[in-house]
Chains A and B, each alone.
Chain A
Amino acid sequence: MAVGLILFGILVMAFAMVAAKRLSALIFGFRAQSFFLFMLTFILAWRENSTQLYIVTTMLFAVKVVLVPNFLQKVARRIKADEDLGLSVNPTVSMSAAVLLSYMAYLFTGKIVSIPGEFENSALFISLSATMIGTFLMITRMKALAQILGLLVMENGIFLAAASVSGGMPFIVEIAIFFDILLVVIILGIFVFKINRLFTHIDVDKLTELKG
């Protein structure tokens, strides 16, 4: 029951991020989703009682629940980009598309593992949904910061798949991924900051004018 609650919490948060119209709501959604993911891995670590998993859990909390959202919030505040996300598709249509995507994910995972049965099996469905929704966010949100968040949602989905299907990636890989994320977010954040200072906007759509 608890695992199920957390898993569907992750899915609901992904949908909430699709529904979000402001950057702060989007960041909050990501933070909440990461928190659910943290609880899930914590339960896994507690069950298997492995030190490595505990370390991963701690890092997850530090990076995804605290550092990255705080950093993004700070960037958003610095460049005063909180007003809108530059939605190219309105929330209702986005939501319908997201439902369709996760229905496809359901159909697809149903072919690999039988979904009614072990609750953990639904983790694959949810991770695939989260990954697809993340991609969808990256495509349809014009502001660069929102795109970073789409990427992070994708990463959350992939992490969930790895954690649930194979019981986690190798330890070193896991740690490396966290540093990757941290670096990517910092670099992208700085880029966004610079782009904003140079062009006074972070609308990725308008960057097409830069081509030669």
Chain B
Amino acid sequence: MKYLLVALQIVVLIAVSPFITGLIKKIKNFIRLRKGPGVFQPYYDLAKLAGKEEVISRDTSWIFAFAPYAVIGSVTAALLLVPAFGPGISLNRAGDLIAMIFILAFGRFFMALAGLDAGSAFGGMGSSREMFISSLVEPVALLSVFAVSLNCGSTDAQAVASYGTFRFSTLVATGALFAVTIAETSRIPVDNRETHLELTMIHEAMVLEYSGRSLALIELASHIKQVLFFSVIAAVAVPFGNYAVKMLVIAAAVAALEVSMAKMRLFRVVDMMSFSFVLSVIAVVISAMGY
């Protein structure tokens, strides 16, 4: 029964994931007083890409062809570990929140290699920056996960999710986790998904060589990753209230942040990440004080 629920959950989450992206875009346009595309636009985009022919560079190897599957595999496997719909619904036997961070790194590893594979300077630049940012994000992600799970004494996502009381330290850690989410989903202060400007793009530069169905898979993977991180905040870190409402609130917060901020210089991201690192250290301090 439990496994059926897990399967159902993952299917629903994957199906909903493009909608969240569309929703964020809609909210952004609402704030900017524009009309913008409909909330289902990401679905149309995926469908369009799936029907297109694929152009592959001559210089690439099997890594380039394999990377989209590795990415989609890793985000899906990571999503299995998140009890989004209720404290019992996840494959907690397979791994915990720490394992989740490492599984996501698996997909990123292949993505970065694929960026280098075509031999274009764009792809290399994207890979270099992606690995740079992700290596800075990793300690923050881990420490905020630690801070969230210190109170209940286990890094198991289900145990954290079903831990009844909401502690002050969790609140601070959630702040750091939000910064991690922004960086991991390539949102504005860190990266900008909407532009293809050489000097600023990170994730987009890395996947510049992709087209057609492979690109559709990569896009879908980034939608899923976004749902994954939102769910970690909504279901694990803040274990009360309605899940759907919480997801909407997070989406609105991300949209508001994107509209109100400008993209940072690459080396300002270091400062942002070290500040979130300090934030999660403070969360641990508060937890050590017993709050």
The short answer to whether A and B are in direct contact, CB under 8 Å, is yes
B278 in contact with A99 (CB, 8 Å): yes
Please tell me if B281 contacts chain A, counting CB pairs below 8 Å: yes
In whole angstroms, what is the CA distance A55 to B193 when docked? Answer: 52
Complex Cα–Cα for A117 and B162 (A): 26
A91 to B276, CA, bound (A): 13
Task: List residues of A (1-18) whose CB comes within 8 Å of B's CBs.
Answer: 1, 4-5, 8, 11-12, 15-16
Given contacts A1-B168, A5-B168, A8-B286, contact A95 B291 (CB under 8 A): no
CB distance from B286 to the nearest CB of A (A): 6
User: A98 at the A/B interface (Cβ < 8 Å)?
Assistant: yes
* Residues of chain B contacted by A11 (CB below 8 angstroms): 282
A91 CB contacts on chain B under 8 angstroms: 270-271, 274
- Cβ 8 A contact of B286, one of A4, A15, A19, A98: A4
What sequence of 0s and 1s flags, for each residue 273-287 of chain B, a beta carbon within 8 Å of any chain A beta carbon? 011011101100110
Docked-complex contact A116 and B168, CB < 8 angstroms: no
Distance between Cα atoms of A115 and B290 in the complex (Å): 9
Say yes or no: A95-B282 contact (C-beta < 8 A), given A1-B168, A116-B288, A119-B291: no
Decide yes or no whether B172 CB sits under 8 A from chain A: yes
Contact of A4 among B168, B281, B288 (CB under 8 A): B168
B282 and A19 contacting across the interface, CB-CB below 8 Å: no
- The answer to whether B33 has its CB under 8 Å from any CB of chain A is no
Per-position binary interface string of chain B over residues 202-217, scored 1 when its CB falls under 8 Å from any chain A CB and 0 otherwise: 0000000000000000
Evaluate contact between A96 and B274: CB separation under 8 angstroms.
yes
A1 CA to B281 CA, complexed, in Å: 19
Q: Is the CB of B278 within 8 A of A98?
A: yes
Q: Which residues of A contact B168 (CB under 8 A)?
A: 1, 4-5, 8
A106 CB-CB contact with B under 8 Å: yes
**CB nearest neighbor in A for B273:** A92
A21 proximal to B (CB < 8 A) = yes
Q: How far apart sit A16 and B279, CA to CA, in the bound complex (Å)?
A: 10
Q: Tell me, yes or no, whether A122 is within 8 Å of chain B by CB.
A: yes
| Smallest CB separation, B189 vs chain A (Å) | 13
Q: Smallest Cβ distance from B39 to chain A, in angstroms?
A: 35
Q: At the interface, is chain B mostly helix, strand, loop or mixed?
A: helix
| Shortest beta-carbon distance from A19 to chain B in Å | 5
B172, B270, B290: which contacts A92 (Cβ < 8 A)?
A: B270
Is the CB–CB distance between A12 and B289 below 8 Å? no
* B274 with A19: CB separation less than 8 A: yes
Contacts of B289 in A (CB 8 A): 115-116, 119, 122
Closest chain A residue, CB of each to CB of B275: A19
**Chain A positions within 8 Å of B282 at CB level:** 8, 11-12, 15
Within 8 A of B (CB), among A64-123: 91-92, 95-96, 98-99, 106, 115-117, 119, 122
Interface centre among B278, B286, B290 (most CB of A within 10 A): B278
Render B65-93 as a binary contact track against A, CB cut-off 8 A, 1 for contact: 00000000000000000000000000000
| 16 A-B contacts (beta carbon < 8 Å) | A4-B291, A5-B168, A8-B282, A8-B286, A12-B278, A12-B279, A15-B279, A19-B278, A21-B271, A95-B271, A95-B278, A99-B278, A99-B281, A115-B289, A117-B290, A119-B291
**Known A5-B168, A92-B271, A106-B285; 18 more pairs at CB < 8 Å:** A4-B286, A4-B291, A8-B282, A11-B282, A12-B282, A15-B282, A19-B274, A19-B275, A19-B278, A21-B268, A91-B270, A95-B274, A95-B278, A96-B274, A98-B278, A115-B288, A115-B289, A116-B290
Residues of B bordering A, CB below 8 Å: 168, 172, 268, 270-271, 274-275, 277-279, 281-282, 285-286, 288-291
